[in-house]
A and B are shown apart, each in its own frame.
Chain A
């Protein structure tokens, strides 16, 4: 045995010489990985937030998601709404030393719309970019678009010279079959430079001393490590190996708060979690009801809605960290005034089912991701139980997001009868919700309703949606949005569940602001 103990003792002796923590270095762990440094490749919140440390857009959003000047100091719109003029910030340099000018904006506008970019929707395809002088750019539109710049904070401006010198003029497509320089190297204007990047393992950011803006924090270095296992990520925070983690599994929030060394920043997220029902097929794909589709009957949809005890889901599954929602959009993006959820009432639900001709309920298959949203699998399981009590037998098919999306999305032929999904409008605007997930998917040549998996369709609502896009008057526009939501809510196009909560685990040594779109931005962080 002496053998073994000697060995272990040696290991322990070496292990004791552990390095001390470094000041102003922020160690951060996220569930997801940073997959590409090319800002036009992966459109996903975590990646966008990461890249926004190095890259910047013409506009930016502050802690409260208000649009503020970014690389453009100011901008103005012509009276007809067809011409936007952007005045660029002067004296800004890219990390690689190149000056930032109008040429870079024009280049980025071409690159973001080039084949292979996953951000084509950021800039309208028919928008023309005109260089007025080195620091002024005009954008000429064919139709007015009041929300043109809504997503421009995450349309990163790249250096033309750098891209040309490194064979990175074309965007790295999501399906790159050859390695690309831009996906491994970054050259932005932002507050942090990427010092080293090992995909899926570690990324080191260093503060950019020459940043044009004034950093609100004191972070000089950020070491980012992905940690996918929930328990390990929480353990790393509790043991002080990392300073910030995202997300904290909600069941561990109490534990983290009680630890004394770390705290949890939580707040509502902009993502709405909802249930959808196939209302387009004449017979459900996965049901024992043959020859008709029960979900075409409003009473059945309402019965489902009223069978769901959202408050218990909130208290038990979400541990209080969700906001039950009557609408398909978060209250931060569009006020919920005038809308309420139908009351949870199992008896009423049974009665509605009986009226609709299903006194003994029926059987239906349900699709659910189990690794995409906060406690998604558990929510679905709870819903299965609640529906069972009104006589609906749900055959739950909960699977990892890869398989789930392959089945339910358009590419899988909308192969679902009843599902759970989450949606954040990438424009932070209601139009995106009305167009993408509630709009009719009946026109094969239009992208309208492509993610409307249930196939709900209302022509009057679609007509309103089209008007909403071009309406410049905010008050009028909001009235129209409200009306559109009223139509789809009355007809129960979907059953909205809740907005889930954000939960960041933050060491007591770190102070930072939380943004409701779940972007974790180190420029707002301070570490003791």
Chain B
């Protein structure tokens, strides 16, 4: 949904220690080990990531290959229910796909879309934020006004826009060919503002500090100062936003599939699976929506908890 899940990005007044230094700081490790919730969240995230990464090896069937999917197997309930089939542990969807395999593959697709989208957003946002904060003046005004325009276009509208443009240009491209790119670009283009604003805010403060003045006096070129000196000092909050945005991106992808701009039902993501299952909520085929839904919720919850912990751990004042 919204792109403004700002984790109170109030810039710190002093120059904070560099990120690497803070990561290595044994306090972080200690705080990690202290929080049972965080450990559980980390384990869950790890399991889900491994499951997604190795889906082709773990999953009993390939749900993306229509030749192996039999319509006659459609809507079979989980194994423990009447009518269950031992071939399909948690049942099948409306096309006869093994739901367990579909979830593993779907998770993979969702994480790829979310991950790439968020990385794109971070890249755009950090670059523009650094430029705006470092140069100020007209550059800043232009970039921040672009950010304003951006905010009026929520991810939903951006996806519709890009989807339309892609369709206009590649007339006979199928959704299977384009959906992934459309989604990644939509998420990238709608989530960057937050990074830009955060980075810009901290850069505005950093650029007036002595070490930046010194670097300038030495005659270092601006891009080098930004990347080598400013960036490491302002990137802390970005890590937190990245984590939380990954969760948000996965949810956004799911929402978009509800609006018909998501991944196609032949290559379902978690969101597509939920949207398919949504149709069968009243009909008694509860498993089609429940298992993908729970997987998504667990993923988002765990990632968010990790993000929370990371934010607190990186904020020295909260320790």
- Which residues of A does B touch, CB under 8 Å? 230-231, 234-235, 238, 249, 251-252, 254-255, 285-286, 309, 312-313, 316-317, 365, 370-371, 377-378, 381-382, 384-386, 388-389, 394-400, 403, 407, 415
Taking the complex as formed, is B98 at the interface, i.e. its CB lies under 8 A from any CB of chain A? no
Cβ contacts under 8 Å, A382 to chain B:
71, 95
B71-A316 in contact (CB<8A): yes
What are 10 A-B contacts with C-beta separation under 8 Å? A249-B279, A285-B172, A316-B96, A384-B66, A385-B67, A386-B71, A396-B174, A396-B264, A399-B175, A407-B171
Contact of B72 with A312 in the complex, beta carbons under 8 Å = yes
Q: In the complex, which residues of chain A have a beta carbon less than 8 angstroms from the beta carbon of B281?
A: 231
CA–CA, A285 to B172, complex, Å? 8
Q: Is the CB of B283 within 8 A of A254?
A: yes
**In contact, B266 and A384 (Cβ under 8 angstroms):** yes
Q: Is B284 an interface residue (CB 8 A)?
A: yes
Counting chain A CB atoms within 10 Å of each CB, the highest count among B67, B167, B175 belongs to: B67
Tell me the minimal C-beta distance from B282 to chain A in angstroms. Answer: 5
Would you give the shortest CB distance from B180 to chain A, in whole angstroms?
15
Nearest to A313 among chain B residues (CB) is B71
Grouping DSSP codes into helix (H, G, I), strand (E, B) and loop, the B interface class, with mixed when no group exceeds half, is loop
Do B71 and A251 have beta carbons less than 8 Å apart?
Answer: no
What is B's interface to A at a CB cutoff of 8 Å? 65-67, 69-72, 74-75, 94-96, 167, 171-177, 260, 264-266, 278-285
Cross-chain contact A231 with B284 (CB below 8 angstroms):
no
Tell me which of B94, B167, B283 contacts A252 (CB under 8 A): B283
Assess the B283–A309 pair: CB atoms within 8 A.
Answer: no
Contact residues in A for B266 (Cβ distance below 8 Å): 381, 384, 396
Determine whether the beta carbon of A388 is less than 8 Å from that of B65.
Answer: yes
**B260 shortest CB reach to chain A, Å:** 6
Asked if A231 and B279 sit within 8 Å, CB to CB, the answer is: yes
Q: Is the CB of B282 within 8 A of A385?
A: no
Beta-carbon contact of B285 and A365 below 8 Å: no
One of A316, A370, A396 near B260 (C-beta < 8 A): A370
Q: Which of B74, B172, B176, B284 makes the CB contact (< 8 A) with A396?
A: B176
Q: Which residue of A lies closest to B171 (CB)?
A: A415
Which of B171, B174, B279 interacts with A251 by CB under 8 Å? B279
Q: Which of A231, A398, A415 contacts B265 (CB 8 A)?
A: A398
Query: How far is A398 from B264 in the complex, measured between Cα atoms in Å?
Result: 8
Complex Cα gap A371–B285 (Å) = 21
A252 touches B282 (CB 8 A): yes
User: How far apart sit A403 and B170, CA to CA, in the bound complex (Å)?
Assistant: 13
Name B72's contact: one of A316, A378, A403, A407 (CB within 8 Å).
A316
A381 and B260 form a contact (CB under 8 A) = no
Residues of B within 8 A of A235 (CB): 282
Cα–Cα distance between A385 and B97 once the two chains are bound (Å)? 11
Asked if A415 meets B172 with Cβ closer than 8 Å, knowing A313-B71, A317-B71, A386-B71, the reply is yes
A385 to B74, CA, bound (A): 12
> CB-nearest residue of chain A relative to B267?
A396
Query: Ordered nearest first, which 5 A-B pairs have the shortest CB separation?
Result: A388-B67, A397-B174, A385-B66, A388-B66, A251-B283
Q: Which chain B residues lie closer than 8 Å to A252 at the CB level?
A: 282-283
The closest CB in chain B to the CB of A234 belongs to B282
B175/A397 in contact, CB under 8 A? yes
| Shortest distance between the CB of A236 and any CB in chain B (Å) | 12
B75 CB to nearest chain A CB (Å): 7
A230-B174 contact, Cβ under 8 Å, with A316-B72, A316-B75, A382-B71: no
Residues of chain A within 8 A of B284, CB atoms compared = 254-255
Please report the C-alpha to C-alpha distance between residue A47 and residue B66 in the assembled complex, in whole angstroms.
39
Known: A312-B72, A385-B70, A398-B265. 11 other contacts (CB 8 A): A238-B282, A249-B279, A251-B279, A251-B285, A317-B74, A365-B174, A385-B66, A385-B96, A388-B65, A389-B67, A396-B266
For the complex, what is the distance from the CA of A441 to the CA of B285, rounded to whole Å? Answer: 45
Contact for A255 among B70, B96, B282, CB less than 8 A? B282
Query: What residues on B are CB-neighbors of A389 within 8 Å?
Result: 67
Q: Is the CB of A403 within 8 A of B167?
A: yes
- Measured CA separation A312–B175 after assembly (Å): 26
Task: Determine if A395 and B174 form an interchain contact, defined as CB atoms under 8 angstroms apart.
Answer: yes
Tell me the bound Cα distance from A162 to B33 in angstroms.
Answer: 81
Minimum Cβ distance to chain B for residue A400 (Å): 6
Q: Chain A residues near B94 (CB, 8 Å)?
A: 251, 316-317, 378
Indicate if the CB atoms of B260 and A255 lie closer than 8 Å.
no
**Shortest Cβ gap from B74 to chain A (Å):** 4
Report the minimum CB–CB distance from A135 to chain B (whole Å).
Answer: 53
Q: What is the bound-complex CA distance between A400 and B160, given in angstroms?
A: 12
Q: How far is the CB of A520 from chain B (nearest CB, A)?
A: 22
CB-nearest residue of chain B to A253: B283
User: What B residues does A316 contact at CB under 8 A?
Assistant: 71-72, 74-75, 94, 96
